Amino acid sequence: MQILIRYSTLFVLTLLVLAALSFALAYLFPGDVLVNLTGITPHNEIQREALIRQYQLDEPYLFQFLYYVQQLLQGNWGYSFISGLPLRDEIAVAMPATIELSTYALLTALFLGVPIGCYAGLKSYTKTDYTINSLSMVSYSFPVFWIALVFILIFSLELGIAPLSGRVSLLFDVPNVSGFVLIDILLADNIDSGLAFVDALHHLILPTASIALISTASMIRITRRSVIDVLKSPYIAAAESRGLSKRKIFFQHILRNALLPILPLMAIQITTLITNAMIVETLFSWPGIGNWLIQAIYQRDYPALRVGMLAVATVVISFTILIDLFNRLIDPSREKYERGAI
């Protein structure tokens, strides 16, 4: 219980700091503070006065900020300067696309990285291990945008086996319900879901692979390290001396103990993962938040940048804190010295 309280306080305080930062951006960005904050360009002085009063911009900064936070909580995030649409709606469409892509990449990384890492750990300091180790080192060192471009060049342009843009062929008019394209396709009744699902999987391959490659590599290295550490521990030697089968030792003793320290490291990976997803999005024209922010930067859409930064930061922090909390709950032994290891 105490842990829960501690984590919620941490969460709320971090968000407050972020909100303050995003509020400050309205003043730091060039141009009119009112426009940066609301996204509405007043047509005349009367309207301007009304908006200033509404947003309490004539009050001291603290009151302005409090009103700002209140507005954020109510879902009134302002309007895009360029498209004039409510930013909340735009982010509600873009953010799930990014989360979706990151989720698939993370799953791929887990389902490939952990077994390969275990295998390398069990075979530690053999030729197999060195091969896996160096391969993962190499793929970990590639910049993600370069990998993505190479994939596009080989698989889209040369071989023509995978499309290079979007989430699903535009011929499918997939209604946006959950924001996750695969789920939306299953829910849709105006299209041939079977065709659309296959089409969407085709679109997913390259962006997922580009992000997953790097995450898999780091997952392999983390797992391998952890398995090697566990192998050295006395209870493995004890289990061996008791004559347990290798299989039993692996599943009952090595795997469980090796996976525990991986979780907190995964929390750190989330940030890298989402950042990579945002970069890859722009290359694959994936309609996610990264792509959206790049457009906003190019079009100097300051209200969008302000809220976009806040939204991305909130998502990253929520995931990190949640994983950390989860980790603390299942493994109470790691108490004090790792506090706040975000």
Partner 1 sequence: MQTGLRWLWGLAGMMLLQGCDKAEREAFYQSGIIYCSESNPVNFNPQTDTSSTTADATAHQLYNRLLNFDPDTGQVIPSLASSWKVSDDGLVYTFQLEKNVAFHETAYFTPSRPFNADDVIFSIDRWRNDSNPYHPVSGGRYPYFESLGIADNIFEVRRINGYRVEIILKREDSSFLANLATDFSVILSAEYADYLLSRGTPERIDHYPIGTGPFKFVSYRKDHFIRFDKHENYWHGAEGNSEHLIYDITPKSSIRLAKLITGECDAIAFPAQTELDIIVNREELTLSEKPGLNVGFWAFNTNRPPFNDPSVRRALALAIDKNTLLEAVYFESATRAKTLLPAASWAFQSDAEDTGYNPVLARKLLDEAGIEPGFTMTIWAMPVERAYNPNAVKMAELIQRYLSAVDIQVDIVTYDWTTFRRHLREGLHDSVLIGWSADNGDPDNFYRPLLSCGAIPSGTNRARWCNREYDQLIDEALQTQDLVRRKAIYAEVNRLLYNELPLVPIAHAYRYQAYRNNLKGMTINPYGGVRFAGVTKSL
Point out which residues bind partner 1 (CB under 8 A).
82-83, 85, 107, 152, 156-157, 160, 163-166, 169-171, 173, 186, 192-195, 197-198, 201, 285, 287, 295, 298-300
Nearer to partner 1, 30 or 234 (CB): 30
Nearer to partner 1, 66 or 149 (CB): 149
Q: Which residue has the tokens 């994939």?
A: 151
CB of 199 to partner 1, least distance (A): 9
CB atoms within 10 A of CB 99: 18
CB of 176 to partner 1, least distance (A): 9
Cα distance between residue 165 and residue 150, in whole Å? 14
Helix (H) or strand (E) run with residue 90 in it: helix 87-122
Looking at residue 1, the DSSP 8-state letter turns out to be -
Cα distance between residue 105 and residue 216, in whole Å? 9
CB of 129 to partner 1, least distance (A): 28
Looking at residue 225, the DSSP 8-state letter turns out to be H
CB of 103 to partner 1, least distance (A): 11
Cα distance between residue 147 and residue 51, in whole Å? 47
CB of 16 to partner 1, least distance (A): 32
And the tokens for 62? 């603290």
Nearer to partner 1, 25 or 182 (CB): 182
Nearer to partner 1, 132 or 308 (CB): 308
Classify residue 109 as left (phi > 0), alpha (psi -120 to 50) or beta.
alpha
Nearer to partner 1, 185 or 239 (CB): 185
And the tokens for 67? 């009103």
